[in-house]
Structure 1
Amino acid sequence: MKNKTVIITGASTGIGKAVAAYFIDRASNVVMNSSNEDNLRKAYEDLGSPSNAIYFAGDISDQNTGKALVRLAKETFNSVDVLVNNAGVFAPKPFLDVQEEDLERYWNINLKGTYFTSQAAISEMLKQEKGSIINIGTVLVDHAIGGFPATAPITSKGAIHSLTRQLAAEFGKNNIKVNTIAPGIIRSPLQGKMGIEDADSLAGLHLLNRVGEAHEIAEAAYYLASSDFITGETINVAGGHTVGHSI
């Protein structure tokens, strides 16, 4: 992955920031994105303001943001080799309380953001006749939890899982790989935003009896980015969350 160009959305905190750090440390060229410019700038500075990284603030639900990220990657680093669609929102809400604006928020940011940014990246990858797209889903698509009502965000993530397989089918002949990483409970600012004060209290959901760390998602993203023979897959990085439960 040395000198390969990687676009990472939602790169200002949590998983996205860890993914950016992982690729930067391994001499990839990284384009960091987030909707919050102040947070994004701070993340870039936290990583040491590396010369092999740049950042661009913008809302991925706007088609122009994806196009701008691809254009910036081309102008600065001459290629678009990998796109990590990490940006997204997620919070629990009982099914009967969900309003139309809730659905619109999740579908606009989670699904449309992934869709539009992938459109922009694939347009360039087709010219290069190669590329890798890595989407971030959730194990909850395939392993629902009754005590965690989150139909609105999970349906948007489920659509991303389906999008992954269809894009892999459509663009495999062009040597463009498309995969999903489905994280379990990962220690990140997201838990606090959902009102979970102690992420470790959820360790029992995983057979390994611990929560995951953001760098473990970064490791999986790097593996998929560098692999030449994996496409259309959903990789659960979840400590056994989808396999079974300890009692």
Structure 2
Amino acid sequence: MSTYKVAVITGASQGIGAGLVTAYRKLGYAVVATSRSIAPSDDAMVRTIAGDISAPAVGGRVIELAMDAFGRVDTLVNNAGVFVSKPFTEYTDEDYDLVTGVNLRGFFEISQRAVEIMLAQGGGHVVNITTTLAEQADSRVPAALAALTKGGLNSVTRSLAIEYASRGIRVNAVAPGVIRTPMHPAETHDVLAGLHPVGRMGEIGDIIDAIVYLETAPFVTGEILHVDGGQSAGH
């Protein structure tokens, strides 16, 4: 078994996920990075695997690769997610399947497999990326499917934190506001900035810093850390 720690990161090809790969390498971790399409890495300590995390067996395969490559899994960051904003009555079956598939099933299988490994090792850390909109609804951003799925991740974060608190596994979440990533076209940035009391969008580094904090905070578990420019406090 390796002497260094190993992080598994989903949704790792761009944006926050790609930044997390770099951040965990700086912390000295080996990394297994996955997304639907992801280029091979020229870093021997980074293994990439392409796959749709919402599809059955993909999550298990990612954890198997981590074990084959590095022999352990210390941290799982469930970063993969999709967001579809529509009036509630306009959501389609396809929207429902997409959002629940990535946000819920994408969390479920890979997390089960990772926790099994962490139990055998005697500890580990799971971090879920949710959204402030799950707790602080905004009339300007209809987001029922985000509330349904990311709200579930907030709840399961607390549930698993308590289930495994005595066995060395911490479970936390980061609830972002709107972050400047390739998901948001530049022409929308002014409007999106206005959704935050501080008057700007979040940056990828804001979320990475929060996750690195949680990684290095052994007394913190069951926490939903809001990184949202004040959205969760009110408007």
Which TM class, normalised by the smaller chain length? over 0.9
Percent identity of the aligned residues? Answer: 40
Partner of 1:31: 32
Q: What is aligned with 2:213?
A: 223
Could you list the per-position Cα deviations for residues 123-161 of structure 1 after superposition, in whole angstroms to 9, with x for gaps in the alignment?
A: 100101100000000000111111211212321111111
Please give the alpha-carbon distance, in whole angstroms, between the structure 1 residues aligned to 2:193 and 2:202. 9
Cα distance, 1:213 vs structure 2: 0.8
* C-alpha distance in structure 2 between counterparts of 1:152 and 1:26, whole Å: 34
Q: Which of 173, 181, 184 is 2:174 aligned to?
A: 181
Tell me by how many angstroms 1:91 deviates: 1.7
Query: Which residue pairs with 2:10 in the alignment?
Result: 9
Q: Structure 1 regions of 5+ residues with no counterpart?
A: none
Q: Confirm whether residue 240 of structure 1 aligns to residue 230 of structure 2.
A: yes
Gaps of 5+ in 2: none
Residue in 1 aligned with 2:191?
A: 201
The answer to whether the 8 A contact 2:96-2:145 is kept is yes
Q: Could you list the runs of 4 or more consecutive aligned residues of structure 1 that deviate by over 4 angstroms after TM superposition?
A: none
- 1:76 paired to 2:69: yes
Deviation digits for residues 36-65 of structure 1, max 9, x if unmatched? 2xxx10xx55xxx22221101111123422
CA contact (8 A) 2:162 2:222 kept: yes
- Count of residue pairs brought into register by the alignment: 233
Q: Is the 8 A contact 1:66 1:121 kept in 2?
A: no
Q: What SS is found at the alignment partner of 1:55?
A: strand
Equivalents in 2 of 1:198, 1:106: separation in Å?
22
- Supply the distance in 2 between the matched residues of 1:213 and 1:55 (Cα, whole angstroms): 25
- TM-score, structure 2 length as denominator? 0.93
Cα-Cα RMSD = 1.6
| Of 36, 48, 52, the match for 1:59 | 52
Counting only pairs closer than 5 Å after superposition, residues 23-172 of structure 1 correspond to structure 2 as 23-36=24-37, 40-41=38-39, 49-172=42-165
1:201 Cα offset (Å): 3.2
Q: Which amino acid aligns with 1:85?
A: N
Deviations 1:162-217 (A, max 9, x none): 1111111111111100011000110001223xxx7232432232232221111211
